[in-house]
Homo-oligomer: A and B are copies of this chain.
Amino acid sequence: MQQLAQDSAFMAQAIELAKKGRFTVAPNPAVGCLLVKGDEIVGQGFHVKAGEPHAEAMALRQAGDKARGATAYVTLEPCAHYGRTPPCALALIQAGVKRVVAAMQDPNPQVAGKGLALLREAGIETAVGVLTQEAEALNKGFLKRMRSGLPFVRLKMAVSIDGKTAMASGESKWITGEAARADVQRERALSAAILSTGSTVAADNPGLNVRWAQLPVEVRAEYPLPALRQPLRIIMDSQSRVCPQHNLFQHREPVWLIGEAERDISAFPDFCRHLTLAPDAGQSKLQALMVELGRRKINDLWVEAGAVFAGALIEQNLVDELILYIAPKLLGHQARDLCVLPHLQKLADAPLWHLHSMTRIDEDLKLVYTLRNA
């Protein structure tokens, strides 16, 4: 019982460590590691980005000889395969660690229990399943991709109390307040990629980048400007509405245009690519898109688009989380709707969600809904 309480307390610290990597770590998972000897923390580490040391390696380096006989708390099962860095399970064995507590198994088929098995074979005591839920929440995108091949899709909408996204004229700047918009910047920064559409680009001409100066002050404190990593911008543009003059191309960061036919993009800057979707029989364009993005290691996809695209994603069950910023305004019946659901006729057929969290942000409200039974 006391052991369990101690394990939970140290694992909670390891989870806090893991969070330090979450803006930069994709396509890898965010992982934290704490090495504890007696009551003393002798090493801490977290994974910053692909190609750099894993959390365990960082913690072992810090602990040096003190690692011998220590307990390692890791938020994800230590890896067992040679990737860009040597397997962490091996490093833990070599350092003489006595016990390894993992919050959860790594569903990555290259690991999937092999890391823990290696440790046990070396006579190290292992435990799995401490603060699993919190560890799952750290890496929703990575875990979903490992389990299903698909990215974790978060659809963001900023709406009025009556669910409207813009006036009839299209005027929508700004529905929500400054703090809510700063939170959107934070969410963009946490995402590997932002997905939008050619219609949205044509209508609003957004940059779809992270503006560091607009991040919440507590994020700026932990995530300095030189470390800023821009999310990949992915534009579903079947009708070739995006052109090189759009604001997207003001920032020298990758843009992927997606269409269903080949397209000459020689007029676009060199950081722009075009991907041609070729849906399988029975597969929709959007399903094919998600499969392709999963194949290209996109863990977390943040969607900012209009009512038609949002509705299509929803109808096809492709949204894992619906993020609503609700401003305390009423825009009335003439204003624009949140989503177009052309096939919905009966109340009983309406898509059902689960209210995951609600947070007040100044005068606005942030609601996160997850797919029911997801």
A interface, CB within 8 angstroms of B? 159-164, 167-169, 171-173, 175, 307, 311, 314, 322, 324, 328-335, 337-342, 344-347, 350-355, 358, 360, 363-365, 367, 369, 372
Contact = CB atoms under 8 A, between A and B. Distances in A.
Given A159-B162, A331-B344, 8 more contacts: A171-B346, A175-B347, A328-B355, A329-B347, A330-B351, A330-B353, A332-B337, A365-B367
A345 B350 CA distance: 30
B350 A329 contact: yes
A367 B337 CA distance: 20
A133 B365 CA distance: 24
A351 B369 contact: no
A347 B160 CA distance: 10
A328 B363 contact: no
Number of copies: 2
Contacts of A369: 161, 328
Nearest to A362: B355
Contact of A341 (B172, B173, B324, B332): B332
Contact of A331 (B159, B322, B332, B341): B341
A332 B340 CA distance: 5
B353 A329 contact: yes
Contact of A330 (B161, B339, B360, B367): B339
Contacts of A307: 333
A191 to B, nearest CB: 22
Nearest to A319: B330
Scoring A161, A340, A369 by chain B CB atoms within 10 A of each residue's CB, the highest score goes to A161
Contacts of A159: 162-163
Contact of A160 (B160, B163, B328, B332): B163
